[in-house]
Amino acid sequence: MTQAARIRRCHAAHLWQDDGWSREGIFGIDGEGLLQAVDDGPAETLGTWVLPGMPNLHSHAFQRAMAGLAERRGRADDSFWTWRETMYAFAAAVGPDELRAIAAQLYVEMLKAGYTQVCEFHYLHHQPDGRPYAPPEAMSLALVEAAREAGIALTLLPVLYMSGGFDGRPLGARQRRFGHEVESYLRLVESLRTREAADLRVGIALHSLRAVPEDALRAVLDGAAARQGPVHIHIAEQLGEVQDCLALRGARPVEWLLDHAPVDARWCLVHATHLSEAETARLARSGAVAGLCPTTEANLGDGLFPLADYLDADGTLGIGSDSHISVSPVEELRWLEYGQRLVSRHRNIAARREGASVGQTLWRAALRGGAQAAGLPVGALRPGRRADLLVLDDGSPVFAAREEPALLDSFIFAGNTPLVRDVMCGGRWVVRDFHHHDEERIAQRYRHAVQRLAPA
C-alpha cells in the first residue's frame, strides 16, 4: 500500500488555523498520526467547528486527588505555604500504582475538556524516606504509562530539587522523596530519554531558584541534558520568594534568572506572577514562554500576572492546570481574562486592538505558547503537526446563531456546558460523543486508589 493510500482524508466545515477560521477545510492524516496536505476530494466529515487541541504546559498529576482537601481555614492566615504542608502530607502516601491511577483519571478529564497534550512537572521521585525505587524511574514511568493508557501526548519534565530555600538549607523530612544530586538527576533524564517516541518528549525542570543552588543550576545548564528539549522552572510565584531572592541574591527572581542563565525560546517560566516592568519587557524579549495557571494561582492566592503589558511587548504565553482544582482550558483562559478585568475595572483586556476578539486572542496565544513549551509538533492544524484536534458540539444551544467572529468567544465565555464533543490525539479518536473510550475502567481504578490514600 502506498503512503498516499494510507492517508485518511478529513473535512471540517470550519477549521481553525493560525490566522482564524478556514471554511471547508480538507486535510489528511497519515499512518504516523501527522497532518498532511491533500487535494480536494471525498473525505470523512468530522464536524462543523474543528479546533487544534490545547497543550497543557504545567501539571502536577498527583495533586488532582487532593483537590478540595485544603479548603478549610487553619489557625494561622492561610497561604501558599500552609497549602504546601497539606500537599506534602498527601504526597507521602502516593506510590507508583496510585500515581498511575490518579494520572490516568486526570488525563481522561483533560482530554474530555480539550487538552490533547500535557507537560508533567514531576518531582515525586523516590519512596517517602528518600530511598530510590527499583527501578529509580518507577514514578516517571507510571506517568508515561498513564498518558499512553489515556491517549494523551506527554512532555515529561523530571524535576531537580536540592535545597529547602535560598539559604541552602537541606530538604526537610517530607521533601526527601523529591531530592536528587546533580549526577543522579542527569542519569534519570538520560534514562528517560531512551524512551522518547512520537507521543513522548523528555525535557528538564528546575524546581525553582530557591530549590536549585546556583552551582547546580550551572552544572545542569552547561551539560548535554539541557541542550535538547524544553527547560521549565517555577519562578516568582509568591511575594515571599521575591523578597528572599532580593535579600540573598540581590535581585528579583526573573531578573536574576535572565542575568545568569541562557533563557530563550526553549524555556518556560511557570507562574512568573510578580514581575517588575523591566522584567516583563525582558521576559517578552527573551522568547521564553510565561506558563500561566490562573485557577491554581487564584486558589493559592498567588496574585495576577501583568497580562496587558506582556501582550503589548509581544510576549509568549501558555496555560496549565497545575494543581488541577480545575481541569479546563476554557476556565483557565476565562479567568486569565477575568482577573485582569477585576484589577483594572475594564473589559476585554487581552484584545489589544479595537475590534479584536478576546477568545480568539487567548486561544491562539495559548496554542502557540503551549506547543513551544511542550517541545512537540502540536498546537496547530497544518502539515507535519500531530493530528490533535477537537470537534465542538455544533448542536449545542450555546452555538445557536453564532458565526465565525463570535464562535470562540462563545466557547470560552458563554457558560459551563461541555462543548467538546470529540477529541482526536495523534490521529486516533480518544473521545467520541463526550465519552472517553476507557473512562469507566480508569475511573474505577482511580476510586480504589484514592480510597487507599484516605486517612484511616
Mean pLDDT of the chain: 95
Question: In the prediction, which pLDDT does 1 show?
Answer: 40
Sign of CA dihedral 294, 93, 178, 75: positive
| Gap between the Cα atoms of 337 and 290, Å rounded | 15
pTM of the predicted model, to two decimals? 0.96
Residue 77, C-beta contacts closer than 8 angstroms, at least 6 positions apart: none
Residue 43, C-beta contacts closer than 8 angstroms, at least 6 positions apart: 9, 10, 11, 26
Instruction: Say whether pLDDT at 404 is over 50.
Output: yes
Catalytic residue among 122, 271, 274, 324: 271
pLDDT bracket for residue 46 (50, 70, 90): very high
pLDDT bracket for residue 282 (50, 70, 90): very high
Residue 372 sits at the vertex; the CA angle it makes with 368 and 377, to the nearest 5 degrees, is 90
More confident residue, 88 or 113: 113
| Gap between the Cα atoms of 340 and 347, Å rounded | 8
| Gap between the Cα atoms of 271 and 292, Å rounded | 5
Mean pLDDT for the stretch of residues 440-456: 91
pLDDT bracket for residue 456 (50, 70, 90): low
Question: In the prediction, which pLDDT does 5 show?
Answer: 53
C-alpha cell at 452: 487507599
Mean pLDDT for the stretch of residues 154-161: 98
Reply yes or no on whether 14 is catalytic.
no
Q: Give the neighbor-by-neighbor strand order of the sheet with 428-432.
A: 35-36, 20-29, 8-17, 44-52, 389-392, 420-425, 428-432, 435-436
Instruction: Say whether pLDDT at 4 is over 60.
Output: no
Alpha helices in 133-238 (DSSP H): 138-150, 182-193, 214-222
Question: In the prediction, which pLDDT does 233 show?
Answer: 98
Helix (H, G, I), strand (E, B) or coil at 213: coil
Instruction: Say whether pLDDT at 63 is over 70.
Output: yes
**E strands of 131-253, at which residues?**
153-160, 200-202, 204-206, 231-235
Task: Check if the beta carbon of residue 164 is closer than 8 Å to that of residue 88.
Answer: no
pLDDT in tens, 218-268: 999 999 888 889 999 999 999 999 999 999 999 999 999 999 999 999 999
Mean pLDDT for the stretch of residues 287-303: 96
Instruction: Say whether pLDDT at 3 is over 90.
Output: no
Percent with pLDDT over 70 in the chain? 99
| Gap between the Cα atoms of 335 and 295, Å rounded | 7
| Gap between the Cα atoms of 275 and 284, Å rounded | 12
Reply yes or no on whether 448 is catalytic.
no
Q: What is the DSSP string of 33-61?
A: SBEE---SS--EEEEEEEEEPEEEEEE-G
Task: Check if the beta carbon of residue 298 is closer than 8 Å to that of residue 306.
Answer: no
Residue 14, CA distances (Å) to 24, 25, 395, 410, 445 in order: 6, 6, 15, 15, 38
Catalytic residue among 14, 58, 126, 322: 322
Rg (alpha carbons) of the chain, rounded to whole number: 21
More confident residue, 69 or 56: 56
Question: In the prediction, which pLDDT does 250 show?
Answer: 97
| Gap between the Cα atoms of 102 and 357, Å rounded | 36
Instruction: Say whether pLDDT at 2 is over 50.
Output: no
| Gap between the Cα atoms of 154 and 151, Å rounded | 9
Mean pLDDT for the stretch of residues 157-174: 95
| Gap between the Cα atoms of 16 and 35, Å rounded | 14
Helix (H, G, I), strand (E, B) or coil at 313: coil
Q: What is the DSSP string of 334-386?
A: HHHHHHHHHHHT-S--S--STT--HHHHHHHHHHHHHHHHHTSS-SS-STTSB
